[in-house]
Amino acid sequence: MPATLVFATNNQHKLEEVAAKTGNQLQLLSLTDINCTDDIAETGTTFRENASIKSHYIFNKYNLNCFGDDSGLEVEALNNEPGVYSARYAGTHGNHEANINKVLQNLQGQSNRKASFRTVISLMWNGEEHFFEGTVNGTIREEKAGTDGFGYDPIFEPEGYSITFAEMTMEEKNSISHRAIAMEKLIAFLKEKTV
């Protein structure tokens, strides 16, 4: 019997990626599945703090094993911005187009286009918190390419590839992405705990 876990997110794209990654190894529940319509405020200043806020909120309110994640794009030449503010970099939460445009604008004339995507997962498992991290390095393209994925995917080209995340299939992205790496660590941890 696979472990049942609530993923503390309202982001449908994240949910689909994680569900595709976990397959039948986990019974994944969304916030909708547990009738949680609360807007969990991400008030932390680090990925770790925001991930922890989400998982603690769900665990404390519903007493269910759960995990929250926070992810973002860190651009070396921009002092690792947008970082924890990735989803609202241009001001409005979730305006991917405006966020991408702001990154491209801020990088104009910059030769250093190194960047990384980072995910931190906070898992609340039987009342104990565990953290899992994943990072993928790459570069920021000068213009968008691809229509799949979400967020900054159309301008992020992972190391060792000549295409962006947005040009990859979900399977391809899920084999190398920051979130996939962190999820693999979480799944390995749960396998040990639920054997």
Residues belonging to the binding site for substrate are: 9-14, 71, 150-153, 173, 178-179
Alpha carbon of 112 to those of 66, 106, 136: distances in Å?
38, 12, 17
What span, in angstroms and rounded, lies between the C-alpha atoms of 36 and 63? Answer: 13
Q: Which amino acid is at 176?
A: I
Token readout for 135 is 């990072």
b/e map 143-167, b = 16+ CB within 10 Å: ebbbeebbbbbbbbbbeeeeebbbb
Q: Which residues are annotated as a binding site?
A: 9-14, 70-71, 150-153, 173, 178-179
Q: Which residues are catalytic?
A: 70
Q: Which residues are annotated as a binding site for Mg(2+)?
A: 70
What span, in angstroms and rounded, lies between the C-alpha atoms of 44 and 168? Answer: 31
